[in-house]
Chains A and B, each alone.
Chain A
Amino acid sequence: MSFQIIEQSTKYDVCIVGSGAGGGMAAKILADKGFKIALVEAGPNFDPANPEQRTQLRWPYESPRRGASTVRAFGDFDMAYGGWQIDGEPYTKAPGTEFDWFRSQMVGGRTNHWGRISLRFGPLDFKRKDFDGKGDNWPIGYEDVRPYYDKVDKLIGVFGTKENIPNEPDGFFLPPPKPRLHELYLKKGTSKVGIPMIPSRLSILTKRVNKKRQACFYCNQCSRSCSVYGDFSSSSVLVNPAIETGNVDLFTNAMVREVITDENGKASGVYYINKEDGKDYRIKAKVVILAASACSSARILLNSKSTTHPNGLANSSEVVGKYLHDSTGASRMAFMPELMDRKRYNEDGVGGMHMYTPWWLNDDKNLGFSRGYHIEYWGGMGMPSYGFGFNTEFLHTLAPQVLGDRKAGGYGVGLMQDVKRFYGSTLGMAGRGESIPRAENRCEIDSQKVDKYGIPVLKFNYKWSEEEVKQAAHMQDSFEAIIKSIGAIPLGDKPGKETNYGLENPGRIIHEVGTTRMGADATTSVLNEYNQAHDVSNLFVVDGGAFVSQADKNPTWTILALAWRASDYLAEEMKKGNI
């Protein structure tokens, strides 16, 4: 077969690569404004209401592995097509460094299964350098993004409460659900040790925001994506409505290899490989928006080499791929004897915690590390799946009163009863913290390797610094204080220095951002403050790549707000004829 590139005949106003948070938002806003859009997605189509794809409300016994995470990384019913590794699409790591990269390839990307924790960055979060001298400030501040956070709140819906905490801005909140039992215990305990807990802020509809989406019916399964659209998935909430305008052509199973440029160095479209027929295609567009997720977009840019852009596209600063950073993460579990022998009731609630702890020590300058973390909690009488009831003998040793004259372990009716008695008495917590972006932490093109589509792959090079390790140590102290405050018993040994205090590998928290950061100075940043490439005026990146620093807040609400802001700006510039 001769090599040939098939050209799609339509010339689009905008070609958007990736349909996750950033791409979905850009598609929705620009389609509403009447632009003709090609939305190009590497994975298959997905709609949580499609019964063939639905996993919501399935029982563990509907899966032959009872929900185990062998095929899908977060369990058999989780709604991510992809994982830490994808067949035929490898990535590599520089020796002595760690990075785990989670990809989900499907319409909606990782927003189909994400945790729905929807936090605004606060005023401090955009200007951390002003306070601790580390990293860089964003070129914009909270007031620039605030109107877009407001719009995102109203369009998508997020529950929460007005708290007036200086760096945790309030928004347009739907009413929160009441806390669960263990959350009430935690609230009571943490208040005794000076750690705050407030209702969580999740993009789940406790009330409706429009007629197309129903309210949450409390099955706790947002990670499976909601078939009545009661939570935010880009697929159901942004991509579907964008397509309904008639202005969007959706290309699925279309793996973009590079951005094409014309003789003036301007973007003129993309090349993609159709995974179904294996052929190469070209889409022409006046504007290209990358939203393939921070590392994928950096990869596309670095692979888009030409005589006018020898380092890759939009990379005259040589910053593409650098300043990669993820949230820090560490966790601890506990067993709470008071929660044994619980009365049964349906405690599913929404698909996430009903309360959380925002960072509470912004004013403390003597911590030995610079940036904060928030704490997420889990527990309750959830649906059993693979792993449930493991190591009952271990719980026996913590609650010997259960055994009477029996010994730990065992079998028979006694064991059955013990499992029943322990149900709902374990809980856990995890810190999610801000790391300091550094140029050395990066992804670059591996000079030795291509994926099965022949596209050069990413090589990661990422190390934590003492800052992050000290922060994890502090998290562990906080966890112990919290566990003690509720009269619970921490499980396992307290992670110490030898394990970096349980600090997870970079990438593990799946908040990777910063690879195409924005800035006022074109020599030290890739994008301007509107997510527009300094070097190429008709090229935008609207995923987490644009972040200068990732606060201790999960990134997606900010990705969404910035993608909307960039889309408004782009539309204005096109109207003015500047693009």
Chain B
Amino acid sequence: MSKSLRQARSEARGDIGACRDDFPALAQKINGAPLVYLDSAASAQQPVAVIDAVAEYHRHIHANVHRGVHTLSHRATEAYESARDEIAGFINAGNRREVVFTSGTTESINLVAQSFCRPRLRAGDRILLSQLEHHSNIVPWQLLCDQTGAELLVVPIDERGELDLATFERQIESGVKILAIAHVSNALGTVLPVADLVRRAKQQGVPVLVDGAQAVPHMPVDVQSLDCDFYAFSGHKMCGPTGIGILYAKEALLERMPPYQGGGDMILEVRFEGTKYNDLPYKFEAGTPNISGAIGLGAAVRYLSGIGMERIAEHESKLLQYLTEQVSRVPGIRLIGTARHKASVQSFLLDDIHPHDLGTILDHQGVAIRTGHHCAMPVMDFFRVPGTARASLALYNNRVDVDRLVESLAQAKEIFSQ
């Protein structure tokens, strides 16, 4: 059957299975077996549309942006800026001035910590995080604590991997200066009730940063309806290139924040007596940016929108349910992360097999999962495990992937039962 016919039929059924063919990396064999890629939470594969957009840029468009009268510079600037527009639309930002290109979630969070929070914090002030944060939403705040004498306050989680909301209620009223919280946990898959958390924080006048690295690839995200002040995410987890990401921030806040880094592009006028900074968002984009990355991310957003984030969310949610059911049936499985509302991720342990050994055995059968602490050591400490095995889904996964995972777990058991 031709691809377009197959695609048309499956689209008529409302399923997005045919999109798998758009990802050339998925068509290869690993260790003699067809690749089963279940590590999209670490980094997602890229569709041809993204690969081609980046290649086309390198072939015909490349020049520096915002600084040349020649044709290529103009084309590069247009491509770069229209990627910003696509991304602004994708997350429903108020306007394009609120969308800052960064190198990724990590840089976005550091930017907020240093530019927005650092001047406002005094010794003894509190920063509220949760126990399930990724290290990149912990360490920037610890650095800030060292610089200002502020303290971290941590919302606990329960055995399912859900936030302890009763404790949160008390903590948010205890003089917190910023709430920095994940939208979706990368280690457990928990979807946090971010809109509710933001509402409570607003009642206390607490600004909120949401780490959306694991949410944007898997569900529709509307930053205006969430009403958060800052929203950070990475291109490479949403089928875009590495080294590019976004900080969304409310315009009024960005206006008042000092630049994060100094350099070219972020200025209007430089004199040794003083420098006038550029308008938003350029004030926060010092130096030559990752132009091809931004263009690739724009293409990724167009690709995902073409399929539709609602459909992606529905597909992944059904598949995650299937995965969790199938994996639970394997004798000796312990699921880590059983929140009622989850996205994309299932962590687990099998018998007393160390996750790293499990990872090797699965890889040998072409099944790629992540093993270890997932840059979330406080989560591992909570569950008293050194690490977990984690299968994570994206739009291109299907039931065959899940079945292959389960088969390979059976083989791991067999090898370890000698």
Check if A and B associate.
Answer: no
